Chain A
């Protein structure tokens, strides 16, 4: 045992040293509970301790400001018994009460002072602002808090996600609405032509008489589906816009901030300082607290001051709903719930049809639904022929190319409709599809499938854009085609596809500019945003063939001594092709696009074609 004594002495000494060092480096003195030197006489009321008395250093707050003895524990003064032998004890009691009141007043004064001093300063420091009033700063701070600092994160980011989600749902329902409408038109055509062959099998399997007999029923269900999709299209559009609105007009952050301000103001002074400080500390410690604590370092004793989570998805959606634009009447009449409510009201003599009765109301809605369907058909240009073509294009899309699906014929069908229904831009694409018919024989089945899928996607895009009254299907389609040719399709087929790019796509002016933009965005970014890297098999042949196609309409195209070809595309625009011999980095092939004059880019763009 003796041998441990020196060790214990060393440890005791070390602890003493640590204590001394800690005291030296302690940032501020901790409040002291009481004076241990004073005798504790339960019958003698003790006057409050003078914070400046010897042995008690002045207290400072966490920011280094002098602090009155706010936090000392005065309770020891109350450990005495009241006696009734003389008045002196009452006088002492009176003094004690007065001292305690003065002490409390002092504490409240100190707490109040924090708002416009330390709290305001820290708010300004965190937000890098210069607010002079605590009330304004606090309101702004709560927006800062919920908005993730820059007003773009936190609840705002979530609301944006919800708005986008609603917008995607809207688009999905709009596409479904269009699809059902196409089917309704085709079913009508089939029924009206006495179940003629040309529509057979486009919508329902018409192989037997039973299917024919079912046609009116299928038509009714399809029209109902159209109605549901039309309503949901409007519903989600309204939701999306409403949520976007509360981000845009600031209501989202304003409301959250007001709730926090009101919560704060409902508190007493002691709690206010603790609550506001909790927000400020929470921000300073963000990201540094264990996930186990929910990212919050507040000790359990301070749990009541943990900043409340005021929002969730339903809150955002509910607030967005308040600001959502009304769903149009033409969409609302397809809501079964709405229609039923109006009919029920009419039965009770209320609502818009209160005088006319439920039968009238029901008939009104039926007629209105028919009207909307007919009007939308006209609006989308959905003639019988157009609908038939759309359905023909989609007919075998799920069946792989080969036996059972003549993909070359399907591509021809696409070309036919593109030319017939999609104007000049449709014809440009149709010419390309048609020019490839002979080449498809030499394609592998996989390459043909790849091109069929591409052609189908491009055709669908044309239709989708037409329904949404959006232009740009050609530009998008050509970009999509170049991407697939260079990165998805095998060597020989890719070269054939590049060679066949029609001159109509590269006529100098808008058409060429469109193709140049596509080429300038191929692959991925290189060292900086003027350089693109296209990593592909046969980079030299592909680059050269693409260059040849791009420059079919060049003014001149001389080849220089080092193999560089400089195509003058007119109006100060140039495209060059460089082989490896004219590349200081040994790049197999480079296409440079100088379209500064056309205003496409302010800098020359280099597209490097590299081996994988």
Chain B
């Protein structure tokens, strides 16, 4: 999978579901359309996507899973974080492995702007919400991100 893939493509829309879209690595893979999380292709695609989400300042690490005690007090650059994730995520890892790995959450500015658009915590269909309230998500994110 190439770096230049536009993660805002409509088929990837569930990646942007607040927190749920990126919570675990398997959530990201699932929202990229993978049913089998164990392949090299899935891993490469997943890593590229995480990198882009970091670059867009859309996500942060919520927990380092079983490495939480070790890493939680350290201040990593995005690049260092990516390196760590690459090391932790082994080829062949599946659901039960991801549950112990890194967890992500969306950045607060993103969540706050969604609430400003009227997002409720329950009873919301994400696709419908984006269609009705946001339209072009890429454009909306660019307009609303902290300047």
Contacts and interface: CB of A to CB of B under 8 A. Distances in A.
Interface of A: 524-528, 530-531, 533, 535, 560-562, 564, 566, 568, 572, 574, 576, 582-585, 592, 594, 596, 602-604, 606, 610
Contacts of A535: 122
Q: Which 9 A-B residue pairings sit nearest by Cβ, starting from the closest?
A: A584-B105, A527-B126, A584-B62, A585-B19, A527-B17, A594-B95, A584-B19, A602-B35, A533-B122
A572 B121 CA distance: 32
Given A535-B122, A584-B104, A530 B23 contact: no
B99 A528 contact: no
Contacts of B30: 530, 603-604
A339 B26 CA distance: 69
Tell me which of A527, A582, A585, A606 has the highest count of chain B C-beta atoms within 10 A of its own C-beta: A527
A268 B62 CA distance: 78
B17 A561 contact: no
Nearest to A602: B35
B35 A603 contact: yes
A582 B17 contact: no
Contacts of A528: 14, 17, 125-127
Contact of A524 (B14, B26, B27, B123): B123
Contacts of B20: 526-527, 531, 585, 606
B126 A560 contact: no
A564 B14 contact: no
B103 A574 contact: no
A168 B30 CA distance: 41
A574 B100 CA distance: 14
Given A574-B95, A596-B95, 12 more contacts: A560-B65, A560-B100, A561-B66, A562-B63, A562-B65, A566-B96, A584-B62, A585-B105, A603-B35, A604-B30, A604-B95, A610-B121
A564 B99 contact: yes
Tell me which of B27, B69, B99 has the highest count of chain A C-beta atoms within 10 A of its own C-beta: B99
Nearest to B69: A561
Interface in B75-95: 94-95
B98 to A, nearest CB: 9
A525 B122 CA distance: 9
Contacts of A526: 20, 122, 124
A576 B24 CA distance: 13
Interface of B: 14, 17-21, 23, 26-27, 30, 35, 62-63, 65-66, 68-69, 94-96, 99-100, 103-105, 121-127
A527 B122 CA distance: 8
A576 B100 CA distance: 11
Contacts of A604: 26-27, 30, 95
A602 B30 CA distance: 10
Contacts of B65: 560-562
A583 B20 CA distance: 9
A576 B99 contact: yes
Contacts of A584: 19, 23, 62-63, 103-105
B96 A596 contact: no
A582 B63 contact: yes
A4 to B, nearest CB: 54
A530 B77 CA distance: 33
A24 B25 CA distance: 66
Contacts of A572: 94
A568 B96 contact: yes
B17 A566 contact: no
Contacts of A533: 122-123
Given A582-B63, A602-B35, A527 B14 contact: yes
7 contacts: A525-B125, A526-B124, A527-B17, A527-B125, A560-B100, A604-B26, A610-B121
A582 B63 CA distance: 8
Contacts of B105: 584-585
B66 A560 contact: yes
B114 to A, nearest CB: 11
A610 B121 CA distance: 10
A572 B38 CA distance: 13
A522 to B, nearest CB: 14
A576 B97 CA distance: 12
Nearest to A530: B30
A561 B124 CA distance: 32
A297 to B, nearest CB: 32
A432 B134 CA distance: 49
A562 B103 CA distance: 11
B53 to A, nearest CB: 14
Nearest to B21: A527
A560 B35 CA distance: 25
Tell me which of B27, B65, B66, B96 has the highest count of chain A C-beta atoms within 10 A of its own C-beta: B96
B123 A561 contact: no
Nearest to A562: B63
Contacts of A568: 96
A94 to B, nearest CB: 72
A561 B69 CA distance: 10
B64 to A, nearest CB: 10
Contacts of B23: 583-585
B37 to A, nearest CB: 9
A564 to B, nearest CB: 6
B122 to A, nearest CB: 5
A414 B77 CA distance: 65
Nearest to A612: B122
A580 to B, nearest CB: 12
B106 to A, nearest CB: 8
B11 to A, nearest CB: 13
A527 B100 contact: no
Contacts of B95: 574, 594, 596, 604
Given A526-B122, A528-B125, A604-B30, A560 B99 contact: yes
Contacts of A561: 65-66, 68-69
Contacts of A525: 125
Contact of B99 (A531, A566, A583): A566
Tell me which of A525, A560, A582, A602 has the highest count of chain B C-beta atoms within 10 A of its own C-beta: A582
A535 B124 CA distance: 14
